[in-house]
Structure 1
Amino acid sequence: MNKIIGHLLSPLHHFLFFFVLCVFQPIQWVSLKLGGYKAHKKSVDVMNFFLLFSYYALGCSIKFKMTEQLPKNRPIIFVANHQSMYDIPPLIWFLRDYHAKFISKIELTKNIPSISFNLRHGGGANIDRKDSKQAVGEILKLGERMHKNNWSALIFAEGTRSKDGKMKDFQVGGIATILKKAPNALIVPVAIENSWKIVRNGLLWLDAFHPVKFTVLKPIEPAGKPFEDSVKEAEMAVKAIVEA
């Protein structure tokens, strides 16, 4: 039944999603030109708030839970599992106070309304997966910006999306690279549930009525111990929620 209703609701969802992207393309441009980083970031936050309504058009709900208060006076590396592109707008909106930046494929910086513009100007790292030197350099620059501005990063540590909700091992490379430039960063695990179910039939014909859940877990202090241990601790914390 979810599949059938999802097929019926998918056109409405896609219309709303891309309508918001098209509307906010010029809004982002004007915000950046007239108000700089702060105004541009505000426009991106608001855009992602409106993108959430396209989830509701599928009958999907969004639940975001923070188990502890997080500091705003130091960088944070949010370490999450990754299930679909539907992970991203809620994370941007609900973590907006922490200036969370993404590490994205450089291919996404072109030809996608609003998304490409934000990736080029939002302060994240856009990496070429075929060029390891470029990728490491971009992540190091992100770490420098995090350290300077108390920004945060959000890393999908599996390295790719899970198509069935089952987690893959977390990779340490990007996290370790950021810590080189932002050694005072705190690691915070984030568990994402059920967004893979929306796209299990593909990106065109979506599934309906799934509760998409985000749980921000207890922070991990990486200072004074091998970063591999901190990443493994984050992985186990996320897995305890996702695969419970």
Structure 2
Amino acid sequence: MAFEQQYFICFLLVLLQLPFFTIAQSYKNISFSSSLTAQEDSDPHWASPSGEFAFGFRKIGNAGFLLAIWFENIQEKTIVWSANRNNPVQEGSSVEFSAEGKLTLTDIGTGKPTNIADGQSTYTGVAYAAMLDKGIFVLATRNSTYLWQSFDHPTDTILPTQTLNLNSSLFAQLTATNYSEGIFKFVLDSDGNLMLYTVNYPLKSNNFIYWPIQTGGGFQVLFNQSGSIYLTTRNGSILG
């Protein structure tokens, strides 16, 4: 089944009116031991090869800084992903791509380091990090196999070429200026059902389903480059 853009705009979960872009295959590698530090009046970042996207620190009002990915070449500089949406850090906090291949966010307020790539089982083979023109940040091997990628850990947005797999979810941000997980949740559950929930904030428990597609056979939500979104089965068939 193809889902029209207006559904997702209404639900405020997927930002489909963001500008489309040409997918580039070039890389602008980030060297080991590189780091960024959150600073007032600037957005320190690592850019994608075309400059379309940036990965770095964005100040969010008085709440602090998000380690985020955003559109760099539009006036709004719309954020499409963040590593610490529920826990902004303060000025002077840093992110480092270490010599061991770890991507670590250190909060200056607590001194506590957080491994951003927490789903990565091993760092053996990490050759570089990169912010790509698809809007994805990766840790990769020499032959460009992704050992970790931000697309596998979505927050409130999906981008062209991105997929949502079983048990993946998107949380709308709480308010226009508060990027914490809010009261609306879009999920492809373990049974393959695609649903929109309201959430009991701040408990994060599901409240009720207000937009269900009870297919029982969904496997992935695909967002293609032309702007269409599909729910597919494991063999790639489009459900409809």
TM-score, scaled to structure 2: 0.26
| Bigger relative contact order (CA 8 A; separation at least 6) | 1
TM-score where L is the length of structure 1: 0.26
Point out the structure with the larger helix share. 1
